[in-house]
Structure 1
């Protein structure tokens, strides 16, 4: 039984959000581990020692319930890539590799628009990204692919803004941080991926519906802010500047204890509001079933997406207490994760 530290414990999650795992999870874990090796995204010794303990596949297997196995596999590989990219971004900042980051940024933009021409790129991070994106694109219509690409171009640029902030020693204000965090956490991307999991591209009038959008945002805000709460010791140790707690301490002059309390309040309000909005969103889903085949299809798909928004709460919660990514007290150097590669990959 996983023991959650009192400062991070959320009884409402443990009581109201039952944890589930996709039945494909054991194979998912094995195949993503193999994919990381084949794509050279992590050194073999680090894959062997750390990959399973990082629980990246657990996070996705707890979120996209009901997804076809091949869709979940593509999402899990993409998610694992995302974590590796996040680590490269961090190491490039720590080691002042601005030229390396700039090259990677432009290469990712290009691979996003044309993944097929980047599958054999010399930088494993670019080639792995192209592979995972090409697989995701294969499941959905061009309209969805274009939307996904637009959203991820924004994520890349947000990562660049964070790079420049950290390089200059800038701690964003609370409002600036919240806006940036929605992009660096890729809120829209994880929400977009609910659709291939449900086997249906949702039309604009559904995705833009007020209660559907609010439920999606709350599930993502919870995840981002809970991540900030759990990451705070790691990021303070690593002299990070981008964390809601750090912004609160710097700009609102809160103590560490007050910042933690503020984070918990925001997190708990997300949960409470989601439980209310979820009911309205389910009524919206039911109303889509208008007696037509298309209406029934949309109603079922929206219900599936809402169910997985709910699953995101429990999956994120338990991930943070099982993944070695957050066990900073067990690291030899609290400022350097043991699973990262500090070399300037892709520069040869």
Structure 2
């Protein structure tokens, strides 16, 4: 269905993006030089983003690509800190990320590479649309950090969330609304609330993100079973619905397919929204064109996510010497630094999150 309905696109800056991403990973010390040389290109992180945000300026695309690469590195740190019980280090990282969203410039030289790298990405992204968009981006990213912290506790306790709770949590750990926010600077237009919160626009956006999250769960299930992970839709279905592995895979596949159908069903309504906004005025034309851009790139999520998971070395667990430790991951702890605080970060209040994927 994806191959038929969603042609693949790549931003023309992609070849340079790949080269610059390798340099950024080295500069920010997010991967050791030997792992960058051996694995960075094969992980295909830049391919993923270069297919998401067609029309972005080269500078913006590089900032988004670096954020995406950073996100994978953060996810890997989360896994290794949980495996080794590095609770204090993990809590310091969460604190640093929360503070960085509010004051990125102050954290550019932070001793933890993940905090400093995040600060660099956030500062570059904040230079595109202005204070209101920046504040929204931060408002949407704070719960992502808290959701990862919630998962850290689950992992340490061996708690597999129930299916409904996991669906809710996954929409945060996948950062649904963050990636949707980034459609706007790509279109060079901040959308008003009436457009962003239009039911058709939200439904289309949510379908693309749920597809991406569930397809990731489908493809990463062997990797996460090998690593004793507890956060995967398939694992929740096995644990709480009594499904066999084969039944769980079939159910995740069904949900993935439903997301595609949901998007195709609502897409014409989003096109009508764009046409209605274009009332002949300069502002109307700008908004109509921006919605078209956002919808086009929502479409691109399907093909980009699909091909990424087939091409990236991130999920080829069968080829690893140690299936519990991906070869591209460094298993070292975060650096210690003077004056580090170890108090816990606030836990996420999952009950306050709209299970339909709603945002503030």
Instruction: Give the TM-score category using the shorter length.
Output: over 0.9
1:173 to 138, 142, 162: 162
The runs of 5 or more residues in structure 1 that have no matched partner are 1-11
1:275 to 240, 264, 283: 264
Task: Report the Cα offset of residue 347 of structure 1.
Answer: 2.2
Give the match for residue 218 of structure 1.
207
2:178 to 161, 171, 189: 189
1:128 to 92, 114, 117: 117
2:252 to 263, 272, 280: 263
CA distance in 2, matches of 1:346, 1:158: 23
TM-score by length of 1: 0.96
Q: CA RMSD in A?
A: 0.6
SS, match of residue 46 in structure 2: helix
Task: Report the Cα offset of residue 346 of structure 1.
Answer: 2.3
The runs of 5 or more residues in structure 2 that have no matched partner are 338-360
CA distance in 1, matches of 2:138, 2:256: 29
Q: 2:52 aligned with 1:67, yes or no?
A: no
1:199 to 188, 191, 200: 188
Deviations 1:272-329 (A, max 9, x none): 1111111111111111001111010000000000000000000000000110101111
CA distance in 2, matches of 1:154, 1:140: 22
Deviations 1:177-225 (A, max 9, x none): 0000000000001000001111111110000000000000000000000
Q: 2:150 aligned with 1:161, yes or no?
A: yes
Task: Report the Cα offset of residue 69 of structure 1.
Answer: 0.6
Q: 2:26 aligned with 1:21, yes or no?
A: no
Q: 2:231 aligned with 1:242, yes or no?
A: yes
Give the match for residue 311 of structure 2.
322
Q: 2:341 aligned with 1:347, yes or no?
A: no
Give the match for residue 35 of structure 1.
24
TM-score by length of 2: 0.93
Give the match for residue 290 of structure 2.
301
SS, match of residue 126 in structure 2: helix
SS, match of residue 339 in structure 1: coil
CA distance in 2, matches of 1:129, 1:273: 33
SS, match of residue 235 in structure 1: helix
CA distance in 1, matches of 2:204, 2:14: 26
